[in-house]
Structure 1
Amino acid sequence: MRYLFRPPGTEGASLLGLPWHQPLEEWDPELLITVPQRGISRHVVRFVASQGRVFALKEISEHLARHEYALLGAFEEEGLPSVSVLGICVDRPQGQDAILVTRYLEYSMSYRYLFSRPSARQSVDQLMDTLAVLLVRLHLAGVFWGDCSLSNTLFRLDAGALAAYLVDAETVERHPSLSRGQRHYDLDLARERVGAELLDLQFGELLPHGVDPIEVADSLPPRYASLWDEVTHEEVFQADEQRYRVAERLQRLNDLGFDVGEVELVTSDEGARLRVQTRVSSPGQHRRELFRLTGLEVQENQARRLLNDLRAYRAYLEQKAGAPVSEAAAGASWLTEVYQPVIDTIPPDLVGRLEPAEVFHEVLEHRWFLSEQAGRDVGTTAAARSYVRNVLPSTPAELTTPSVIVNRS
C-alpha cells in the first residue's frame, strides 16, 4: 500500500494507524464517527476524527482518486470554493479501490438539512443564488463540473447568507477557459440534477408545501445568466465618466463577492470601453483586510460585517480621544474590548453551535432588534447576554462541528 498526504505533517501521520488494508465497509465502528445531516453519496464514505479534526474517507477507483486528489489540491491553492483534500491511499490489497481523504467542512449543511428547516421556503431563492455563484466561479476558472448537483455541494452560513462549496470532483474537467457551449451544457446538467433531487424530496414529503421542484430548478439558468453577464460584460461610457464608472463597476463586483484582477480601459473618440478580468479565487477583499487588522480568519460576508463594526468602533475611539486613532490600534482594541468579550459570553455547552464570527454577526443583529424595541442603543454587552440566553440555545446542534458533537457509530 502507498499513502500520499498533502502537505506532509501531523494530520496525515495521525491517520496512518487506521486499517487501510480493510474495505471501508468492514472498519470497526469504534474507529468511526457519525456526521449529522450528511449528504447522499454513490460511494462508500466514512468519517473519522483525529487531533480535533474530522476527515471524510471515500472509496473510489485509483484513477478517479488520483484525478480528484490533484484537482482538489489545485483548487485549494487557487482559492476556489471546494473541500480541502488531505491525501489518498492506493495499491490496497486484493485490488481494492483507493481511498480519498478530505477534511470535513466544519459548520457545513447539506441541502436536505436546509430544506428541513422551518425557514426552508425563504431559503429556496438563496440556495439557488448561491449555487449559481458557485457555478460562475468555477466556470471563470475553466472548470467544467459535469456533475453539479445539490448532493455534491455543501453550504455554510456567512453572516446570514450562504456560501457554497464543491464536494465531489470526480467528473471535473479543467480547461484554460470554457466555451459558451461547455458552460451551458454544464448548466443544463445542473438544472436536471437539481430538479431530480427536489422531486425526490417532494416524494419523501421533505419539501415544504408550495415549493415546485421544476420551477425551482428552472430558475437556476436565468440566475446564472444574470450573474455571468454582470461579472463578464464589457462596459462602454463617455470619457468624462470613466473615473466614477470604473470605481462603480469594481465596487459592484466586490459587492457580488468577486475579486478583480486586471482592468483594461481603452479610450477613443467614441468613448471608453472597460474590460474587467474577474479573479476566480474565492472572495477575499474583506477577509484579507480583517485578518490584517485583527488576525481573525473568517468568511467574506462575516468579514464585511465585522469590519463595519470595527470602523464604527474606531470612530468612537477617535471621538473619545479627540485625536486620530490608527487602524492597527483600533483593530487591536476592538478585538480585545468588543469581539472577544462577546465570544467569551458563550457558555461551554453552547460552544460550537455556530462559528464565532457568525455568533458575533447575530449578536449585532440582535442588538439592532433590542435597540428598536427599547428606543435606544442597548449596547453590545447586553445584546450578547440576551442572545446567548434566548436565541443561541435554539440553534440546531446539527450545525456544531462534528469533532465536538459526534456520536460513536
Structure 2
Amino acid sequence: MALHISATNAEHPVLLLELPWDIPLERWPEKHLVPLPRGISRHVVRYARAGDEVIAVKELAERPAVREYGLLRDLDRLGIPAVDALAVVTGRVDAAGEPLEPALITRHLGGSMPYRSMFETTLRPATMHRLMDALAVLLVRLHLAGFAWGDCSLSNTLFRRDAGAYAAYLVDAETGELHPRLSTGQREYDLDLARVNISGELLDLEASGALHPSVDPIEFGTEICARYGSLWQELTRTSVYPAGKHHYMERRIRRLNDLGFDVAEMQIDHSSHGDTVTFVPKVVDAGHHQRQLLRLTGLDAEENQARRLLNDLESWMATQDDRDARPEVLAHRWVRDVFRPTVRAVPAELRGSMDAAEIYHELLEHRWYLSERAQHDIGLDTAVQDYIENILPKARETLEPTGPE
C-alpha cells in the first residue's frame, strides 16, 4: 500500500511528506510537534509543523476522514468560521508493514484557543458574556447555512480575537451534516446537544477544580441557548420595508445592538414589494468601533458615537449601486457627500462645545425620533432643519447661566 496525500494545495503534499507517517501519531517525535493547548477528543490529535505552517493532525478511519475533509471545504465555500482543511493522508504503514490509521490535516488557526482552555483561567464577566455571544453566533450561522453540527462542545470550538472582534470557529465536523435547509426539529436537537455537551464539560472542569467559581455550568449552557434563540428570531424574521420606511432598518439594527451584537454586514434586496434586509452579526471588544471608524473614515469619536456613525455608514453603503467598491472608498464618499455637508448645515454659532461627531450623532438620533413619530423616513435634511429650529435653541437656554437672582 502506497502513501497517498489528497490536498487542497499543490505545495502541501511536498511539505507533508517530511512528517513521520510511518509512526503512530501518539508516538511522533517532539521535534515535529508544536506545544499548543487542545481540547479533549475521541481521536489522537497533535499539532505539528509543516514548513512555515502549524497544522493539526487527527487520526481516524478513512471514510470519516474523507467525509470531514469534504464538509470543512463546504463550510469554507459557504463562508462559515471553521478551520481550513488541508489534506487527507491514507495508505500509512509502520516499519513492520502494519497499516496505520489515515490522518486528516487542518491548518491551525493562529491566535486561537479551545473554548475549554479559556474556562480554565480567570474570566471577567464581560469576557464570559462575549464568549457566550460568539458561540451563539457560530451556531446560528451554521444553522442558517443548513449545517447540523451534531457535536458542538467547548473542545470542538476555537475562540479567537481579531482586531477587536470576538469569533468562535468550528474545529470538528466529523458528525456534521449539510442540508439545503434545517427543520425546526433538527435545529432544536442540535442546540440541545450543544447545551448538554457544554454544561457537561464545564461540570468536568468544576469537578477538577479548574473552573472559576463565578461560572455556573448549567446556567452557562442554558444561557447560550437563550442567546441563540433571541439572535435566531431577530435574524430570520423576513421584513419587507415599503419605500420611505428606511428607519425600520435602523430599528432592526438597534434591536440587534440591544441584544449585544453589532452588524458586520447588511444586505438589502430590492423587489416590487419593498426592501428585504439580511444582517450578519458579530461580537466586538471595547473600543472596536472607535478603531474601525478611524480606520475607514479618519474620524476620531467616542465609542458610542462611533458605533452610531458606523451603523449609519453601513446602512448608506448598502443602498449604493456600486456596493462592490472597497469599504474604504465608500466610506470616503460618505464622509464627503453625507457627513460633512450635514454637519456644516448646523450653524457654527449654534454648536456650542459639540464636536462634529457629536453633532452628527445628535442629528441621527433626532432623525430617528421624528421618523418613528411620522412612521416614515423624514430624511436628514428635514431632521437638520427641525433640530436647528426646535432643539438647539432649547439646549442653549439650558446651558446659559441664569445670573444672580
Q: 2:189 aligns with which of 171, 185, 189?
A: 185
Q: Is the deviation greater in 64-73 or in 21-30?
A: 21-30
2:312 alignment partner in structure 1: none
Q: 2:123 aligns with which of 119, 124, 132?
A: 119
Q: Deviations over 1:156-207 (max 9, x none)?
A: 1134452100000000000001011100000000000011011011101111
2:292 alignment partner in structure 1: 307
Q: 1:242 aligns with which of 242, 245, 248?
A: 245
1:67 alignment partner in structure 2: 67
1:5 alignment partner in structure 2: 7
Question: Against the structure 1 CA distance between its residues 142 and 97, is the aligned structure 2 distance closer, same or farther, given a 3 Å change threshold?
Answer: same
Q: Deviations over 1:223-281 (max 9, x none)?
A: 111000110113366x46523324654787796345345636564xxxx6x644557xx
Instruction: Report the residue type matching 1:244 in the other structure.
Output: H
1:16 alignment partner in structure 2: 17
Instruction: Report the residue type matching 1:49 in the other structure.
Output: R
Relative to the length of structure 1, the TM-score reads 0.64
Question: Against the structure 1 CA distance between its residues 262 and 80, is the aligned structure 2 distance closer, same or farther, given a 3 Å change threshold?
Answer: same
Pair 1:204 & 2:208 matched:
yes
The structural deviation recorded for 1:305 is 5.0
Which secondary structure does the structure 1 equivalent of 2:21 belong to?
Answer: coil
1:219 alignment partner in structure 2: 223
2:177 alignment partner in structure 1: 173
Q: Deviations over 1:267-319 (max 9, x none)?
A: 4xxxx6x644557xx97xxxxxxxxxxxxxxx999986543123453789xxx
Instruction: Report the residue type matching 2:10 in the other structure.
Output: P
Partners of 1:14 and 1:300 lie apart in 2 by 37
Q: 2:235 aligns with which of 220, 231, 237?
A: 231
Q: Deviations over 1:80-123 (max 9, x none)?
A: 10001110101223342210111111100122332233334443
2:391 alignment partner in structure 1: none
Partners of 1:76 and 1:236 lie apart in 2 by 30
Partners of 2:13 and 2:248 lie apart in 1 by 50
Residues 150 and 197 of structure 1 are in contact (CA less than 8 Å); yes or no, is this contact kept in structure 2? yes
Partners of 1:303 and 1:12 lie apart in 2 by 40
Aligned residue pair count: 295
Report % sequence identity.
Answer: 42
Structure with the greater alpha carbon radius of gyration: 2
1:259 alignment partner in structure 2: 265
Partners of 1:206 and 1:315 lie apart in 2 by 42
Backbone CA RMSD of aligned residues: 3.1
Partners of 1:315 and 1:150 lie apart in 2 by 38
Unaligned stretches of 5+ residues in structure 1: 284-298, 317-326, 332-409
Question: Against the structure 1 CA distance between its residues 117 and 265, is the aligned structure 2 distance closer, same or farther, given a 3 Å change threshold?
Answer: farther
Question: Against the structure 1 CA distance between its residues 305 and 140, is the aligned structure 2 distance closer, same or farther, given a 3 Å change threshold?
Answer: farther
Instruction: Report the residue type matching 2:265 in the other structure.
Output: D
Residues 195 and 224 of structure 2 are in contact (CA less than 8 Å); yes or no, is this contact kept in structure 1? yes
Question: Against the structure 1 CA distance between its residues 72 and 179, is the aligned structure 2 distance closer, same or farther, given a 3 Å change threshold?
Answer: same
Which secondary structure does the structure 2 equivalent of 1:221 belong to?
Answer: helix
1:386 alignment partner in structure 2: none
Partners of 2:118 and 2:300 lie apart in 1 by 39
Question: Against the structure 1 CA distance between its residues 74 and 240, is the aligned structure 2 distance closer, same or farther, given a 3 Å change threshold?
Answer: closer
**Within 5 A, what are the aligned runs for 1:303-382?**
305-311=290-296, 313=298
Q: Is the deviation greater in 147-156 or in 84-93?
A: 84-93
Which secondary structure does the structure 2 equivalent of 1:164 belong to?
Answer: strand
Partners of 1:213 and 1:301 lie apart in 2 by 26
Q: Is the deviation greater in 16-25 or in 164-173?
A: 16-25
2:366 alignment partner in structure 1: none
Question: Against the structure 1 CA distance between its residues 202 and 276, is the aligned structure 2 distance closer, same or farther, given a 3 Å change threshold?
Answer: same
The structural deviation recorded for 1:21 is 2.6
Partners of 1:157 and 1:90 lie apart in 2 by 34
Relative to the length of structure 2, the TM-score reads 0.65
**Within 5 A, what are the aligned runs for 1:18-33?**
18-33=19-34
Q: Is the deviation greater in 54-63 or in 300-309?
A: 300-309
Residues 71 and 173 of structure 2 are in contact (CA less than 8 Å); yes or no, is this contact kept in structure 1? yes
Question: Against the structure 1 CA distance between its residues 127 and 315, is the aligned structure 2 distance closer, same or farther, given a 3 Å change threshold?
Answer: closer
Residues 39 and 151 of structure 1 are in contact (CA less than 8 Å); yes or no, is this contact kept in structure 2? yes
Question: Against the structure 1 CA distance between its residues 265 and 225, is the aligned structure 2 distance closer, same or farther, given a 3 Å change threshold?
Answer: farther
Partners of 1:302 and 1:58 lie apart in 2 by 38
Partners of 1:99 and 1:300 lie apart in 2 by 37
1:42 alignment partner in structure 2: 42
Instruction: Report the residue type matching 2:294 in the other structure.
Output: D
